[in-house]
Amino acid sequence: MLESLLKKSQIPRQSLVSEIREIHQREGTSEYAFLIEELPSLRNKHPRENLLEVYADAIQAFRHARASALRLYPTVSDTLQFLMDSECRVVGYTESLEFYSLYLIRKLDLDGLLDFVYTPPDHALPSGLSRDKIRHHPPQSYALTKTQHRHTPLGELKPNPKLLADIIIETGGKSSESIYIGDSLMKDIAMAQDARVIDVYAKYGTAQYRPEYELLREVTHWTPEAVQK
């Protein structure tokens, strides 16, 4: 998406990257849905135009990249099905906000392979907008039908051992009988160990050494200290 924006706008890369980071920092998420419309450089360049129409190619580039990469790791679906068939309670917990988390669960056919999923609520909508105005499908199209969705407190981030302990209790489990699987040593594994829950490191999900991760570091909503850690 960024490469398409740069090609079309001819705005210097560092200018756009700095603005993207500022918006992500302000909103507390790197999945801000109104990013293009709020980039100052683009608004100044096209003061009277609809930015979503001007940069439709960038949106399409984002959607194409997402579709081409969006798949489960091998054996994950079969493993979750086995756990469900064994009457093991399966709970998902992510820092990703509600809209995109539920989108991924639906697209990856995980609805029903998780008993519960915990996410933060979505970011606030820009002034003058409502969900009814920006969503073009019936409300049920955005919801899960089998997996129960619950919110984590706004602003809470991993690693928070108390939050993990609360999720276990809320879903009818016990810390001594639970296993937590995660792909971040700093966030997931540390949290599980502090909560005295058995931890399993999903090393195959490690992303910070991929080239694409460098862009995330540049535009992330995380603090510099968290990025370094």
Q: Are residues 115 and 175 in the same domain?
A: yes
DSSP letter assigned to residue 220: -
Residues 82 and 191 in one domain: yes
Q: What are phi and psi of 166, to 5 degrees?
A: -65, -40
| Residue keyed to tokens 């756009």 | 16
Residues 58 and 154 in one domain: no
Query: Given this model, what pLDDT does residue 81 score?
Result: 97
Average pLDDT, the chain: 93
* pLDDT tens sequence across 125-183: 887 766 777 677 777 778 899 999 999 998 888 999 999 999 999 999 999 999 999 99
124 shares a domain with 64: no
pLDDT tens column, 90-130: 999 999 999 999 999 999 999 999 999 999 998 888 877 66
Mean pLDDT, rounded, for 12-23: 97
Residues 40 and 117 placed together within one structural domain of the fold: no
Q: How confident is the model at residue 227 (pLDDT cuts 50, 70, 90)?
A: confident
Q: Would you state the structure tokens that stand for residue 7, as one six-digit string?
A: 């090609």
Neighbouring CB atoms inside 10 A of 213's CB total 13
Residue 137 has a pLDDT of 74
Q: What domain range is 194 assigned to?
A: 76-205
The predicted structure's pLDDT at residue 172: 96
Tell me what pLDDT residue 16 has.
97
Whether residue 156 sits in one domain with residue 56 = no
Of the listed ranges 16-25, 44-53, 152-161, the least confidently predicted one is 152-161
Task: Give the end of a domain, one of 51, 69, 87.
Answer: 69
* pLDDT tier for residue 48 given thresholds of 50, 70 and 90: very high
Kindly report the three-state secondary structure assignment for every residue of 163-185: HHHHHHHHCCCCHHHCEEEECCH
Q: What is the spatial distance between Cα 4 and Cα 167, in angstroms, rounded to a whole number?
A: 41
Residue 52, pLDDT score: 94
Distance of CA 71 to the CA centre of its chain: 15
Residues listed for the chain: 229
User: What is the DSSP code (8-state) at residue 30?
Assistant: S
Task: Write down the pLDDT at residue 141.
Answer: 76
Band the pLDDT of 56: cuts 50, 70, 90. very high
Identify each DSSP E strand in the chain by its residue range: 91-93, 116-119, 148-151, 179-182, 198-201
Whole-angstrom distance, CA of residue 81 vs CA of residue 115: 11
